[in-house]
Amino acid sequence: MEKPAHIVIVPSPGFSHLISIIEFSKRLIHHSNGLLQVTCLIPTLDSPSETSKAILQTLPSTIHSTFLPSIHFTKETQTPIAVQVQLAVTRSIPFIREALKALSSGSRLVAMVADLFASDALVCAKEHNLLSFVYFPSSAMTLSFCLYLPKLDQEVPSEFRDLSEPVEIPGCVPIYGKDLPKPVQDRTGQMYEFFLKRCEQLHEADGVLVNSFKGIEEGPIRALAEEGYGYPNVYPIGPIMQTGLGDVRNGSECLRWLENQVPNSVVYVSFGSGGTLSQDQLNELALGLELSGQKFLWVVRAPSESANSAYLNSQSDDPLRFLPDGFIERTKEQGLVVPSWAPQVQVLGHEATGGFLTHCGWNSTLESAMNGVPLIAWPLFAEQRMNAVMLNDGLKVALRPKANENGLVGGEEVAKVITRLIEGEEGREIGRRMQNLKNAGAEALQVEGSSTKTLIQFAVNLIGN
């Protein structure tokens, strides 16, 4: 009997990327009828987090995982986190080669799937004559931009943020240069150089698996499939999202508190697994929540001038001590403040949750859509501004607060937007659109749904290779 087809998965360091590609691996195995096996080779910066380890312990026996030796940067390094993540993969290539050599002696290796920021690893796939795929955990709109960027790089001599007209990405809502992903905001920097290289590598892959579905991004997905652009095959297989991590930090407290609230009355406030605010912005957000008079559940992190400072590192400071004096006491009947983490999937699925003030990370966006929760868009870094434009201008499922001349969103503006979402007709209309997205997402995941059929065909192709 022929051995099962074996694929190797390479995520990039960072919790949000790991969880998405792990969920993809689980779904791929589920739809392969036992004819596929998966090995995850996980590059690491410093040491793996306890949460990452806990996730891997829940995997089925057909998915094996190995943390590769840690790559360390000195504390004094000025290398941006996004670049460190990619360099960690590049410096892990010798370990990946070694692992592939060992696997190939006893397995029928057929393909490698690498996260976008781990695409340097695909050189190892070519060396072993494996099919090479990129797993793209963000939106189809962002993928469209990434595939379009090499051409844009040749055509536009100036900084993109200085363009007077919006960029017309095939199939997408027009977007101004200032809202393009963070790595392309300075074309002279190292981050841009690395990001452009990743976008060029997309064109070299045998295909790209994107975590989206037709019901939420019909235009971009249709454009990605059109001939004439020279794009690789694109497989829309979303929504792929976590179903709950079993982490008990603050979990039971959050859910108990929500049980005592009126349906659709609570604004959930969280900036994802890595987002942070400055001290001034933290103060204004606190003021706005208090002024709104609306119920809130706020996941607070210690402030930082770097918007993604918690992306790889857990913070040791008690974040609650950075809140304005007396805030927790004054709002104890109005809201619940929890440090660093909450069970987001369960919170968004709770009937009391009526809105989500979010950084617009794609994982959080999909989790909101699949629970029909209206949004307040507050992007911080990466491609989040692009997602915010799509959610606000394109899908019209989010309100977006306006910043003042200092770049801060003031407390009164926060209060106004929250009230509009929870109490206004505008918020109810957004809720109806979100419910439509929820239904479309559920339909895509059914046995005959577009995303399930796409993933099954992908698995069939791997098994027969």
Task: Identify the structural domains of the chain with CATH numbers, from first to last.
Answer: 5-237+448-464 (3.40.50.2000), 251-441 (3.40.50.2000)
Helix (H/G/I), strand (E/B), else coil: 233: strand
Distance CA 63, CA 40 (A): 7
C-alpha torsion 363→369→371→375, nearest 10? 90
pTM for the predicted model, two decimal places: 0.94
Q: What is the pLDDT of residue 244?
A: 56
416: how many CB neighbours lie within 10 A of its CB?
A: 18
Q: Can you name the residues that pair with 335 across neighbouring β-strands?
A: 296
Pairing of strands 108-115, 63-67: unpaired
**Peptide linkage before 239 cis (omega within 30 of 0):** yes
C-alpha torsion 458→462→464→465, nearest 10? 130
* Cβ atoms of residues 119 and 205 within 8 Å: yes
- Catalytic residue numbers? 17, 115
Enumerate residues 6+ apart whose C-beta is below 8 A from 188: none
* Cβ atoms of residues 258 and 250 within 8 Å: no
Q: What is the pLDDT of residue 1?
A: 52
Picking from 224, 246, 219, 249, the residue whose alpha carbon sits closest to that of residue 235 is: 224
Question: Alpha helices of 203-336 — where are they, by DSSP H?
Answer: 218-225, 251-259, 279-292, 327-330
Picking from 257, 306, 303, 305, the residue whose alpha carbon sits closest to that of residue 282 is: 303
Q: Can you name the residues that pair with 210 across neighbouring β-strands?
A: 136, 236
pLDDT along the chain (465 residues), means of 10: 87 87 94 93 87 85 93 79 91 97 93 97 96 97 97 96 95 96 94 96 97 97 90 96 62 93 98 92 98 98 76 67 97 96 95 98 96 98 96 97 95 98 96 98 97 97 89
**Per-residue DSSP letter, 390:** I
Enumerate residues 6+ apart whose C-beta is below 8 A from 90: 120
**CA–CA–CA angle 415, 307, 50 (5° rounding):** 110
The two three-digit tokens of residue 215, written as one number = 């019901």
**CA–CA–CA angle 222, 86, 131 (5° rounding):** 55
Picking from 328, 311, 332, 331, the residue whose alpha carbon sits closest to that of residue 319 is: 328
Q: Which residues of 43-56 are buried (b: 16+ CB within 10 A; e: fewer)?
A: bbbeebbebbeebb
**Per-residue DSSP letter, 394:** I
Q: Which residues of 324-340 are buried (b: 16+ CB within 10 A; e: fewer)?
A: eeebeeebeeebbbbbb
Distance CA 340, CA 386 (A): 25
Enumerate residues 6+ apart whose C-beta is below 8 A from 279: 303, 322
* Cβ atoms of residues 357 and 412 within 8 Å: no
Distance CA 288, CA 265 (A): 16
Q: What is the pLDDT of residue 4?
A: 86
Distance CA 3, CA 62 (A): 13
Start-to-end C-alpha separation, the chain: 16
* Cβ atoms of residues 41 and 18 within 8 Å: no
